[in-house]
């Protein structure tokens, strides 16, 4: 497969603290030789397109929240390379198990933006449509999705399928007990599951320095007996190459891996957050200089692949998808409150029935 090195994924006894980087922040190729940047020109341009469209759609989501169409949204600005690179190298039948900030991965997988909008609008089917594209609905209870991912990977293993499951999680999630159980189970049973930690430096207002005393999040892999690897999460080609290697390894039956993509959340944690209360503008500026999109644009230009034609194709797609999102979300009907109770089990339990009656009575009083 293009972009995959022939070398095994690191060593089980050590983790390189230097993240894998294929494109320097100035847009020139690095001296990295274990991984290849060799992808077809069409793929290289598509990665750019996906990153730009993800950023534009992300801005549209924030606008929709500000206009009262969505209660909440979790911006992914700054993390486009980490998400696009990781999702782009997978097969359509590989399962994506997201946390909640993975717009770039949904986009690459072909999930219509309106379906992501429905999920943030809180309609009953919000997220259910994702499963048609082998992507689980978003998961807000931090870390729980990693257990689902290991379960899905074990199911594929038992069914003799050759699909790989990728669990997306954040730096903060790695402090959760659930994640320990998921990593341990995955390693003991050699499940085809890749744990992809987007270390965006913050878990709401808690810095990553408070999440672990280990040298890095990737180092935790050593204790579980799986390879751990750090990658520059603002370098789309490095994220692509490292995930491609981990997925190929898992597909071949060699078990899970833990990837730490070192990146930064440029925006707020959610649309309800004010990050100026806990981090400095100087820190944000330092990461803005490492913005994955201009870096990759410079790289493409250096390769002779960037053109006005590409820029206008990307702009047209972005415009189309933003309009698609707005059309799906603006003035969409509210859901029927009964669905909260009727859609959980095939048959409602007595407890759910009682809760429904209680809510109905409260709503009637409020009217
Ligand atoms: C089990 C649980 N505990 C606490 C929360 C509140 N909470 C929501 S997001 C978040 C931070 C998660 O940080 P991280 O895993 O780094 O992901 P990021 O938001 O940075 O992408 C917390 C603590 C939650 N949703 N679930
Ligand atoms: Mg985080």
The answer regarding whether domain 41-335 maps to CATH 3.40.50.970 reads: yes
Confidence bin at 8 (pLDDT 50/70/90) = low
264 in Cβ contact with 234 (< 8 Å): yes
> In this predicted model, what pLDDT tens digit does every residue of 163-210 receive, in sequence order?
999 999 999 999 999 999 999 999 999 999 999 999 999 999 999 999
168 lines ligand 1 (CB under 6 A): no
Instruction: Give the containing element (helix H, strand E) for 172.
Output: none
**What residues have CB less than 8 Å from 175, skipping those under 6 apart?**
203, 211, 212
pLDDT for the residue 35: 95
Mark whether 278 is an active-site residue. Answer: yes
- Of 58-67, 127-136, 257-266, 280-289, the range with the lowest mean pLDDT is 127-136
In this predicted structure, the answer to whether residue 86 has a pLDDT above a threshold of 50 is yes
Ligand nearest 101 Cα, by number? 1
319, HSE (Cβ side, Cα atoms, 13 Å): 6
CA angle centred on 313, ends 309 and 314, rounded to 5°: 120
d(CA 163, CA 185): 18
203 lines ligand 1 (CB under 6 A): yes
Two tokens, residue 36:
């290849």
Average pLDDT of the chain is 95
Mark whether 34 is an active-site residue. Answer: no
Average pLDDT over residues 321-350: 90
d(CA 225, CA 186): 10
How many residues appear in the chain?
367
pLDDT for the residue 332: 86
Q: Is the dihedral of CA 200, 238, 315, 328 positive or negative?
A: negative
75 lines ligand 1 (CB under 6 A): no
150 CA → ligand 2 middle, Å? 21
In testing the pocket of ligand 1, which one of 58, 103, 203, 205 has its CB within 8 Å of the most ligand atoms?
A: 203
In this predicted structure, the answer to whether residue 256 has a pLDDT above a threshold of 50 is yes
């Amino acid at each position: 497969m293009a972009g995959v090195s022939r070398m095994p994924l690191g060593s089980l006894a050590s983790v390189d603290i230097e993240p894998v980087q294929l494109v320097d922040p100035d847009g020139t190729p690095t001296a990295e030789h274990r991984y290849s940047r060799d992808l077809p020109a069409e793929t290289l341009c598509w990665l750019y397109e996906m990153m730009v469209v993800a950023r534009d759609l992300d801005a549209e989501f924030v606008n929709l929240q500000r206009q009262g169409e969505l209660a909440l949204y979790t911006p992914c600005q700054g993390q486009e390379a980490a998400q696009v690179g990781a999702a782009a190298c997978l097969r359509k039948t590989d399962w994506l198990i997201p946390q909640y900030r993975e717009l770039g991965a949904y986009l690459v997988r072909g999930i219509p933006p309106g379906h992501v909008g429905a999920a943030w609008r809180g309609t009953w089917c919000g997220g259910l449509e994702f499963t048609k594209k082998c992507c689980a609905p978003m998961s807000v209870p931090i870390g729980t999705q990693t257990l689902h991912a290991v379960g899905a990977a074990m199911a594929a293993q038992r069914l003799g399928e050759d699909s790989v499951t990728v669990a997306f999680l954040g730096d903060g999630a790695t402090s959760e007990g659930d994640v320990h159980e998921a990593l341990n189970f995955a390693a003991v049973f050699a499940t085809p599951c890749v744990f992809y930690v987007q270390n965006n430096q913050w878990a709401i207002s808690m810095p990553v320095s408070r999440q672990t005393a280990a040298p890095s999040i990737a180092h935790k892999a050593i204790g579980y007996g799986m390879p751990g690897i750090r990658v520059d999460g603002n370098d789309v080609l490095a994220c692509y190459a490292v995930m491609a290697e981990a997925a190929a390894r898992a597909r071949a039956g060699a078990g899970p891996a833990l990837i730490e993509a070192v990146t930064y959340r440029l925006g707020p944690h959610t649309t309800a957050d004010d990050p100026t209360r806990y981090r400095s503008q100087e820190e944000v500026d330092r990461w803005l200089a490492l913005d994955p999109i201009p870096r990759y644009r410079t790289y493409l230009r250096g390769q002779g692949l960037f053109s006005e034609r590409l820029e206008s194709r990307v702009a047209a797609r972005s415009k189309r998808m933003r309009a698609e999102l707005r059309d799906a979300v603006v003035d969409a009907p509210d859901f029927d409150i009964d669905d909260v109770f009727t859609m959980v089990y095939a048959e409602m339990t007595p407890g759910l029935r009682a809760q429904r009656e209680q809510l109905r009575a409260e709503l009637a009083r409020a009217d």
